[in-house]
Amino acid sequence: MTWAIRKGSQMAVYPRTISWIAVSVGGLAMFLIFGSWFLVSYPIGSIMRGYFYGVNSSKELDFVISLGNSSATVPAYDSNLDLVPKKLPSDKDIVDRKFESGLNPPPQSSSDRPPVDKNSAAIDKNLMPQSKSPDATNSSSQSTASETKKKEDERAIPSVLSSQDGSEPEAATITSNVENSVNGGSVSNNSISNSNDTDMGSKNDIDVKSGGLPDPNPLPTNGSKTSDLGCDLYHGSWVYDSTGPLYKNDSCPVLSQMQNCQGNGRPDSEYENWRWKPSQCSLPRFDAKKFLNLMSGKTLAFIGDSVARNQMESLLCALWQVEVPKNRGNRKMQRYFFRSNSVMIVRIWSSWLVKQRSEPVDFAPEGVVKLHLDAPDDNLMEFIPNFDVIVISSGHWFAKQSVYVLNNEIVGGQLWWPDKSRPMKVNNIEAFRISVETILTALATDPKYRGLTIVRSYSPDHYEGGAWNTGGSCTGKERPIGVGELVENKFTNIMHDNQVSGFNAAVKKLTNKSRLRLMDITEIFQYRHDGHPGPYRSTDPNKLTKRGPDGRPPPQDCLHWCMPGPVDTWNELVLELIRRDFEGNQISSS
């Protein structure tokens, strides 16, 4: 069949466009070939995951729901569910589920801090007990930390130290003679670099001396390397370091304003430059990249009160200088994910670390908090197996009003005991000891938990001359306390010793493959009365920062710590303990 084309028809011009059509078809073919290659090399799913979640591989993250303060609703998934990458040593491709839960009320502020007896500042050095700062590990065999050693005349210490109103824990200062054992695994002397300890000690070092002893139960070594397994981290000197802090107050967006001392107008800054230098070993300057590499694929959780938040923010500020994390938290749990090494930093609020209820119990009415001292906080226990390192912080809330319950029986109370004819079996000091034993025993016996638990000892405050609401002050303190100038605080001492006692009791019950370490900062931080915000708690230009005509100091915070400041030392110690623990496990398994 032939086509007949009339003269003058538009079909007559087609032959002139054949070359254009050929070019178009060729271009389309090239586009399809390039597009196919691009999709194979860069899957669109990975690009979308990387954009929204900061994860490049589907092996690293299956699903994420909660981002910041917003949440995505996805059919067939619990709104509290999140899956977070967790690379285990045995299989780096394993992805563990991470769950969110637990009530996370606003952090304790300087205007809502726990009370304590203003008489607790009574000082008698001869009454103070001696204690040991133990630590334990469970490698091939379980080692038990030594019990707290107390002087015979300790019996003279009052058993109840409480106030009549809602005041905050008073702070004087203490020196406790602590026999510190080492905190777990060790690092080779040759592996610790002093390259960062430059120009230190140029301003009269502040020595902190008390009879420290080496660890009676060091982790085993393979005999092929020199190791500082017996190195004591908690006796040494505060030395001036002109290199300055790891970060600046304006370089960390997660820093709470109440601890942003420079941003709030504090005129001095020398407190930022003092570093802790153990006398028996080196404590390296915090290395953010080294921390992220060491914690690769792991999760570190801070559990406790507002001082735990203080330490968590300090760590985030240091890490922020090398990488900006993804915010994976919500109102229930703070979580920050560092994409480069798949490291998650978590904070869970738990004021007392034990189960708390508001419902009526026996003669205790609704409204007052009931603490079940023999049960751990049920808002956090189901998530414990997902953590590789836990840092515990507690103590100051035991001066707040609460009722103590043991075996479903009311045994005591703080700022609450309506029937004076009933004998009180447990006071707030003993309640603190029981709570420490309870939470640590729960961690030490959970068959699914295999991580490292670091118990940061009681953090001292420095309200001199009264409590936070009765004229206590830390204004004008610009450098650490000198040796011989330290005044003991009986309340801080006995809280520390009860915490150590609870720690020791839990160590004896350890049955799983987790490890317990005591990070004993109480004594050395007695010297850092210069590290608190004081009256510089806000940006208010009209805030009071000087004493009034009557000599009374302005309202101030002498409990929490400035950032940057002394609190950054805690995370240098945490990094050292983690490094010793991980290295110790490698040595034990070799």
Rounded to an integer, the average pLDDT of 338-350 is 97
Lowest mean pLDDT among 138-147, 417-426, 548-557: 138-147
Q: DSSP state, 135? A: E
The span from the CA of 519 to the CA of 456, in Å, is 5
Mean predicted confidence (pLDDT) in 373-400: 95
574, 319 contact by CB (below 8 A): no
**Does residue 496 carry a catalytic annotation?**
no
Check if 306 is active-site.
yes
Q: What is the pLDDT of residue 33?
A: 78
Cis status of the peptide bond prior to 535, with omega within 30 of 0: no
Instruction: Lowest mean pLDDT of 226-230, 270-274, 337-341, 418-422, name the range.
Output: 226-230
| pLDDT of 214 above 90 | no
Active-site choice (117, 388, 557, 568): 557
Distance CA 355, CA 358 (A): 11
Query: Residue 252: which of 309, 324, 311 has the closest Cα?
Result: 324
Contacts of 590 (CB under 8 A, 6+ apart): 222
Helices (H) and strands (E) in the chain, counts: 8, 21
Range scoring the smallest mean pLDDT among 205-219, 227-241, 409-423, 513-527: 205-219
The burial class, CB within 10 Å (0-12 / 13-18 / 19+), for 17 is exposed
Residues with Cβ within 8 Å of residue 47, at least 6 apart in sequence: none
Per-residue three-class SS string for 18-58? HHHHHHHHHHHHHHHHHHHHHHHHCCHHHHHHHHHHCCCCC
Question: Higher pLDDT residue, 325 or 108?
Answer: 325
**Token pair 């006398």 in the structure block, residue:** 279
Q: Dihedral, CA atoms, 546, 547, 553, 554, nearest 10 degrees?
A: -50
* Mean pLDDT, residues 274-289 taken together: 95
Round the average pLDDT of the chain to a whole number and report it.
74
Q: What is the mean pLDDT of residues 95-120?
A: 36
Residue pLDDT, tens place only, 487-531: 888 999 999 999 999 999 999 999 999 999 999 999 999 999 999
pLDDT at position 25: 80
Mean pLDDT calculated for residue range 254-281: 96
**402, 413 contact by CB (below 8 A):** yes
The C-alpha atoms of residue 177 and residue 446 are separated, in whole angstroms, by: 34
**Reduced DSSP (H G I as helix, E B as strand, rest coil) percent helix, strand, coil of the chain, to 5:** 30, 20, 55
Catalytic residue of the set 306, 314, 393, 394: 306
Of 43-52, 135-144, 170-179, 487-496, highest mean pLDDT: 487-496
What's the mean pLDDT in 197-210?
54
Look at strands 409-414 and 131-133 and give their pairing: unpaired
Residue 195 near residue 290, CB atoms below 8 Å? no
pLDDT value for 371 = 98
The closest alpha carbon to 536, from 259, 286, 231, belongs to 259
* CA–CA dist 403, 362 (Å, integer): 11
582 vs 171: which has the higher pLDDT: 582
> Are 233 and 523 contacting, i.e. CB atoms less than 8 angstroms apart?
no
Q: Average of pLDDT values for 433-440?
A: 98
5-9, 345-349, 485-489: which range is least confident on average? 5-9
Active-site annotation holder among 235, 372, 496, 560: 560
Highest mean pLDDT among 160-164, 221-225, 502-506: 502-506
Of the candidates 557, 552, 530, the residue with the CA atom closest to the CA atom of residue 267: 530
In angstroms, how far is the first alpha carbon of the chain from the final one?
88
Helix, strand, or coil here: 169? coil
Tell me the pLDDT tens digit for each residue of 13-54.
455 567 777 778 887 878 777 766 655 454 443 333 333 333
Phi-psi region of 421 (alpha: psi -120 to 50; beta: other; left: phi over 0): alpha
Residue 102, sorted as left (phi over 0), alpha (psi -120 to 50) or beta, turns out to be left
What's the pTM value of the predicted model, to 2 decimals? 0.67
Cβ-proximal residues to 455 (8 Å cutoff; 6+ apart), any chain: 392, 436, 440, 499, 503, 516, 517, 518, 519
Residue 537 and residue 395: Cα distance in Å, rounded? 22
Residue 251 has pLDDT above 50, yes or no: yes
- Give the alpha-carbon dihedral of 209, 210, 214, 216, to 10 degrees: -160
pLDDT digits (tens, 9 = 90+) for 79-100: 333 333 333 333 333 223 333 3
Q: Please report the pLDDT score of residue 468 as a whole number.
A: 73
Strands of 299-304's sheet in order across = 135-136, 515-519, 452-456, 389-393, 299-304, 343-349, 334-338, 326-327
